[in-house]
Amino acid sequence: MPAPAPPWHHGPDTSQPHERPTRVPGPTRVPELPARPVARRFARALALSATALALCLAAPASHATAESSAPAMLAQRYTDTIDPAGYWVSEKLDGVRALWDGRQLRFRSGREIVAPAWFLAALPATPLDGELWIGRGRFDELSGLIRREDPQDPAWRAVRYMLFDAPGGTGDFSARLQALHAIVAAAGAPWLQTIPQHRVPDRAALQRLLDEIVAAGGEGLMLHRADARWQPGRSAALLKLTPWQDAEARVIGYVPGKGRLQGKVGSLVVEADDGRRFRIGSGLTDETRAAPPPIGALVTYRYRELTPAGQPRFPRYLRERTLP
């Protein structure tokens, strides 16, 4: 006998973009699921109280931490109206942003990153900005290591601190880049490196470099304007170029799966900071569908562009944000 539709069901399963606002289910009974470990986690996620869900939906867009955010220069998106000849270009690494203030290594949120003493001993007394990185396609491995907060973990031996700027440094980016090279040379530590920077003569050369990086498994490119002074916050002097766009949204519900996905999540119902609601089904693995990000979790997704209605076209789940 086919199982009845779960009481939290609120629409057909689809992995295509859903451009109309999705109604979020109210307090309901949680359906029984097979007694498997992943299914139990799914059940727990669905069993959040109506109060918790209401708090999640009412939460402001800014989720502040107890720590003060570390000052960082943030990128805008590159457009083909910009001449790249005036920029230094580097690979956009799929790592964890890390800011060194001369004493502690921190996330952008300001929270301290627990790293080995030997790793930090190579860092200077001056501020640095870069990415903790293991290699292309190994973000989950790195994220898990950092979340364990175990400075004795031997996996730290594979981590490199890839520098790309000196916050508050004097001079333009070209001068700061030379200062970073000097810092790395003086440290003599293999885990402290500068991200290779290149100059390209025109847009065609930039596109060829992007194609080469993406074909090799990279995410895209970062462009630093060579004559720009350092400044905190979003800046046109720092640009990112990828074949897709990415953003974050908060999980507010689930659409149940059908067919072979019976008893699992068909798609996530999410809400962006500005209140837009839509579904993400593409990119979810069977494991993630069985044990989805809980209500209230932030997830990262990728999309091609925004529709005229402002909804992401072809959103694809990338990962749950588990680091601050």
Question: Is the confidence at residue 293, as pLDDT, over 50?
Answer: yes
List pLDDT tens digits, range 168-223. Answer: 998 999 999 999 999 999 999 999 999 999 999 999 999 999 999 999 999 999 99
- Domain spans, the chain: 1-64+243-324, 73-231
- Count CB-CB contacts under 10 A for residue 283: 16
Q: Are 167 and 71 in contact (CB under 8 A)?
A: yes
Tell me which of 62 and 91 has the higher pLDDT.
91
Q: Supply the mean pLDDT for the chain.
A: 83
From 2.170.120.30, 1.10.3720.10, 2.40.110.10, 2.40.50.140, which CATH number describes the 1-64+243-324 domain? 2.40.50.140
Q: What is the pLDDT of residue 195?
A: 98
* CATH architecture of the domain formed by 73-231: 2-Layer Sandwich (3.30)
Q: Are 165 and 73 in contact (CB under 8 A)?
A: yes
Q: What is the pLDDT of residue 68?
A: 57
Sequence letter at residue 50 = A
Tell me which of 293 and 3 has the higher pLDDT.
293
- Count CB-CB contacts under 10 A for residue 269: 23
The tokens describing 238, both together, are 């720092």
**pLDDT-based confidence at 304, cuts 50/70/90?**
confident
Q: Any idea what DSSP says for residue 312?
A: B
- Count CB-CB contacts under 10 A for residue 270: 26
Picking from 252, 246, 285, 244, the residue whose alpha carbon sits closest to that of residue 268 is 252
List pLDDT tens digits, range 127-143. Answer: 999 999 999 999 999 99
Q: Which residues are catalytic?
A: 92
Q: What is the pLDDT of residue 244?
A: 87
Question: Is the confidence at residue 250, as pLDDT, over 60?
Answer: yes
Picking from 294, 252, 292, the residue whose alpha carbon sits closest to that of residue 276 is 252
Q: Are 320 and 296 in contact (CB under 8 A)?
A: no
Question: Is the confidence at residue 54, as pLDDT, over 70?
Answer: no
Environment class of 46 (CB within 10 Å of its CB; exposed 0-12, middle 13-18, buried 19+): buried
**pLDDT-based confidence at 69, cuts 50/70/90?**
low
Prediction pTM value: 0.68
The tokens describing 228, both together, are 């720009």
